[in-house]
Chain A
């Protein structure tokens, strides 16, 4: 239906919802096939052990068992190990990562065998009967211990210290010694478990005689997985189709190529039957990537009146036992935002990646940028305390001046546009900052058991991943482009094939809004197809707040290509020259005679009929664009958190949370707000509740949702949100990205608030998560220290 309404910028309700609220989602565990068998992995109870023998005889004879396979049995199935696509330095040491370990168990998720049976329960029962004899080796999980190489995970590498990357530094590095004020701090950030509510799972099937295989997988990256799994299994890309059905959350944990996906494909090929695997939650906690796990030594050089002159960070990053898809690149992603939104004269960042006997780390919502933002924002507060100034005042005086065009930052990349002060001021206004300071002073004065703290966090993030040329310079294996195809069906409906692969972000709705505005139709006329390499041929998938900035812009360009062709047909039909046509009110109209017009549905029908097309014009109205962004996008914002801390119990409650973000132009404000709310909730969880805890032998103590504390609606507060809008100069849509902002900004806002609540008691440091016990101990430590 042709329309002149505008849809971009409006809270259009989601097209995705109808099936999901009806319980008709296509999640992986809802899929089954005739002849399907189940796969379960044998993960022995070791975190570091040499495998001496594996006896599968008993398991093989269990009811329903079709086969038990070890690495030796599948040796010829995998011409290469699992891919790692970001060898960030020339001399990086890369361990081989086979889907089943061949000799040594290096972390709790390392599988030694796989059982295939007629039912899931039968497969699971049989895994218990696979007899693994192994010699336990000492495990190393502490980063500084692991760096000593007393225990080495990969003998062939000879060391656990596998990568060192340095930004190289910018500006006068002597300032870190010579500045009037030099602040040194050390911050630890524990490992986090992503916890998408749907764990992983996959279903592999094929036509062995034709050599064709399909993998349906709960993945964020069907297009990238097609390339990586082709390399791992030897199935040519032309014969390998990857489908991401409805995916129940990702947050980076499904931005990967996992052992189980390669195994399912190899076994479907070997057995000639569909093979399904569903991860249970305990398995998810050890076999799916973790996030964070870093230690920073930080230096801030500044002046007595609050000017930040330089920022320097030296990081140790826990890689885990192997590299997964992007592992060593994650700290580096943060390496471009350690200046935050501040205008500084000197910059330095480097990190060392270390192998430990734990689950590999990789991208978890924000990927490197939350780690960076946390330490800068903690450090700025430490600086403000040192010089006795208000942390809001210190931040504001150091904000980078605005620029509407791209400008090179101290770290060497071009920031697309910036206007930080209005965002900052609005956040303080909504938080009633001055009023809160008065309330804080009153409670301190009265010695209230429940003290108030106010925490700020101003951030900048690098999104819209990514300009391919820069990725190449950074030694990333693939490009960062994305693609969209538009096919205008006769009589008015439009099919879009996008290279992005949403799993909750609402692309079907937002992309429909872009197309509706561009082609003069309604969002309901547009059907957005995604997540299937046979349907949307070209793409680089969804992660890193890239989808709107890269995939959305590709779609906008495809719209323009459709309109170029449509204009030729319209001119032909209206018997005018193309120059006599203008696009107004949702149609091509003859200048001066606007009633003489053709809409896109009219022209799509003509192009399909092809009865009378201009010479040289092919039938069908369609357009494809492959777009490589010329730059990243750089969202920014300021968050303010007000907490109340019970100084007797250590309990922290968030009283008020304000988020003011600038993600450029907004396509759908309802979806953008939802992304912020979810991101902030994950960040509050990181600050107050969540932590992967290990015992001294390296066993994960927080091994299920009963121990790993994911907050509920009881703990997460309602939030006050607002935005400023500084259009990106990177893409014509003007969009920047929003899905990670909340997780990037919120942990330091919360922790700064907790420290602020207790600073008058002498508390100056607080680790994550600020659990009641940790807070209580900090109060005791500070007051004891004061007494002695």
Chain B
């Protein structure tokens, strides 16, 4: 067992983990944060995307020990503390950007980090940014529209 300390969704969490424990299982099973889903185990589908120090990562590819001393944000902390939806969550709802909802937390986290990098993307750029996130239900069209809409909302809010 290895002791780690990770700041998860703003709270410092200390835990003993097996060195082989993947970050996603640490989040899901040890911390009970089950919003982050596992889809493939080969870092292909992106369902498990979270933020590590603000950057999106696939939490099935990282060991929990690699998050030691760092900050992790999961889908559970995407909305405001008062429950206000993140503009991306709101846009996914308004544009029917989800069907079964299993890839959705990963899509939202990937998009949230991408929009920080590129606040005013083109459609082609949004599509490119989603290359590592697979959805089997929507055909992506409404996901792309949701992200473009959210980008507009977020830049409007800033202006």
Interface residues of A (CB under 8 A from B): 11, 13-14, 16-25, 27, 29-30, 121, 195-199, 246-249, 251, 280-282, 503-506, 670-671, 673-674, 677-682, 704-706, 710, 712-714, 716, 718-719, 742
Nearest chain B CB to A702's CB is how many angstroms away?
Answer: 12
Whether the pair A674, B35 counts as a contact (CB closer than 8 A) is no
The distance in angstroms between the C-alpha atoms of A682 and B47, with both chains bound, is 18
B140 engages A712 (CB within 8 Å): yes
Question: What is the number of residues of chain B that contact chain A, defined by CB distance less than 8 Å?
Answer: 55
Indicate whether B135 reaches chain A with its CB closer than 8 angstroms: yes
Contact B39 A281 (CB under 8 A): yes
17 sample A-B contacts, Cβ–Cβ < 8 Å, listed by A number: A27-B34, A29-B38, A30-B28, A246-B101, A247-B100, A248-B102, A249-B99, A280-B41, A281-B40, A504-B101, A506-B99, A682-B139, A704-B44, A705-B44, A710-B136, A713-B144, A716-B141
Q: Other CB < 8 Å A-B pairs besides A196-B136, A710-B44, 8 of them?
A: A13-B96, A17-B98, A24-B35, A30-B34, A674-B137, A674-B138, A710-B134, A712-B133
A281 touches B144 (CB 8 A): no
- List the 6 closest pairs (A to B, CB-CB), nearest first: A23-B35, A248-B102, A20-B101, A681-B139, A504-B100, A23-B75
Please report the C-alpha to C-alpha distance between residue A197 and residue B46 in the assembled complex, in whole angstroms.
10
In this assembly, does B131 line the interface, its C-beta being within 8 Å of a C-beta of chain A?
yes
Once A197-B39, A197-B47, A705-B40 are accepted as A-B contacts, the answer to whether A21 and B98 lie under 8 Å apart by CB is: yes
**Does B79 make an interface contact (CB < 8 A)?**
yes
B111 nearest CB across to chain A (Å): 11
Q: Does B76 contact A (CB under 8 A)?
A: yes
User: Most A CB atoms within 10 A — which of B33, B76, B131, B134?
Assistant: B134
CB distance from A315 to the nearest CB of B (A): 27
CB distance from A37 to the nearest CB of B (A): 14
Within the assembled complex, what's the spacing in Å between the Cα atoms of A506 and B97? 12
Given contacts A504-B100, A678-B136, A713-B127, contact A282 B93 (CB under 8 A): no
B138 and A249 form a contact (CB under 8 A): no
Within 8 Å CB of A13, what residues of B? Answer: 93-94, 96
Contact of A198 among B78, B100, B132 (CB under 8 A): B100
Which residue of the partner chain, among A21, A504, A704, contacts B93 with CB atoms under 8 Å? A21
Name B102's contact: one of A14, A27, A682, A705 (CB within 8 Å). A27
Q: Mark B8-46, 1 if CB is under 8 A from A, else 0.
A: 000000000010100000001000011111111110110
Decide if A249 touches B137 in the complex (CB within 8 Å): yes
Per the bound structure, the CA–CA distance linking A714 and B103 in Å amounts to 16
**A712 and B96 within 8 A (CB):** no
Query: Which chain B residues (83-133) contact chain A, with CB distance < 8 Å?
Result: 85, 89, 92-94, 96, 98-105, 108, 123, 126-128, 130-133
| Neighbour of A17 across the interface among B28, B92, B135, CB < 8 A | B92
Is there a chain A Cβ closer than 8 Å to B7's Cβ? no
Interface residue B6 (Cβ < 8 Å from any Cβ of A) = no
A21, A195, A503, most chain B CB atoms within 10 A:
A21
Query: Bound state CA distance, A24 and B108, in angstroms?
Result: 14
Given contacts A27-B102, A281-B42, A704-B42, contact A249 B136 (CB under 8 A): yes
Q: With a CB–CB cut-off of 8 A, which chain B residues contact A22?
A: 35, 75-76, 79, 89
Partner of A21, one of B34, B89, B99: B89
Which B positions have Cβ atoms within 8 angstroms of A?
Answer: 18, 20, 28, 33-42, 44-45, 47, 74-76, 78-79, 85, 89, 92-94, 96, 98-105, 108, 123, 126-128, 130-144
Asked whether, in the complex, the Cβ of B102 is within 8 Å of the Cβ of A25, the reply is yes
Q: Which residue of A lies closest to B92 (CB)?
A: A21
Nearest-neighbour CB distance to chain B for A193, whole angstroms, equals 11
Beta-carbon contact of A198 and B140 below 8 Å: no
B-chain residues with CB within 8 Å of residue A29 when the two chains form the complex: 28, 34, 37-38
Contact check: which of A19, A506, A714 meets B127 at CB < 8 Å? A714
Compute how far the CA of A11 lies from the CA of B95 in the bound complex, rounded to whole angstroms: 10
Q: Say yes or no: A249 contacts B102, CB within 8 Å.
A: yes
Contacts known (A21-B98, A22-B75, A198-B102); A718 close to B141, Cβ less than 8 A: yes
With a CB–CB cut-off of 8 A, which chain B residues contact A19? 101
Contacts of B18 in A (CB 8 A): 121
Partner among B36, B44, B104, B140 whose Cβ is within 8 Å of the Cβ of A681: B140
Contact of A677 among B38, B103, B108, B138 (CB under 8 A): B138
Residue pair A197, B135 in contact (C-beta under 8 Å): yes
The reply to whether B136 and A712 contact each other, CB–CB distance below 8 Å, is no
Cβ of B26 to closest chain A Cβ, rounded Å: 12
Q: For the complex, what is the distance from the CA of A196 to the CA of B128, rounded to whole Å?
A: 22
| B104 neighbours in A (Cβ, 8 Å) | 20-21
Looking across the interface, which residue of chain A has its beta carbon closest to that of B124? A714
- Residues in B with CB closer than 8 Å to A677 are 138-142
A27 to B140: give the CA distance in the assembly, Å: 22
Do residues B136 and A706 form an inter-chain contact, with CB atoms below 8 A? no
Which of B33, B47, B98, B100 counts the most chain A CB atoms within 10 A?
Answer: B100
- The chain A residue with its CB closest to the CB of B33 is A23
Whole-angstrom distance between the Cβ of A743 and the nearest chain B Cβ: 11
Contacts of B131 in A (CB 8 A): 712-714
Decide: A14 near B96, CB < 8 A? Known: A681-B139, A710-B134.
yes
Closest CB of chain B to A692's CB: distance in Å? Answer: 16
The answer to whether A705 and B134 touch across the interface, beta carbons within 8 angstroms, is: yes
Question: In the assembly, what is the distance between CA of A677 and CA of B39, in Å?
Answer: 21
Contact A678/B101 with A23-B75, A197-B39, A713-B144 known, Cβ cut-off 8 Å: no
Smallest Cβ-Cβ distance to A282: which chain B residue:
B41
- Cross-chain contact of B36 among A20, A23, A196, A251 (Cβ < 8 A): A23
> Which residues of chain B come closer than 8 Å to A27, judged between CB atoms?
34, 37, 102
Closest to A198 in B: B102
Verify B100–A712 contact, CB threshold 8 A.
Answer: no
Residues of B contacting A282 in the complex (Cβ-Cβ under 8 angstroms): 41
A678 touches B34 (CB 8 A): no
Question: Which of chain A's residues have a CB closer than 8 A to the CB of B37?
Answer: 25, 27, 29, 197-198, 248
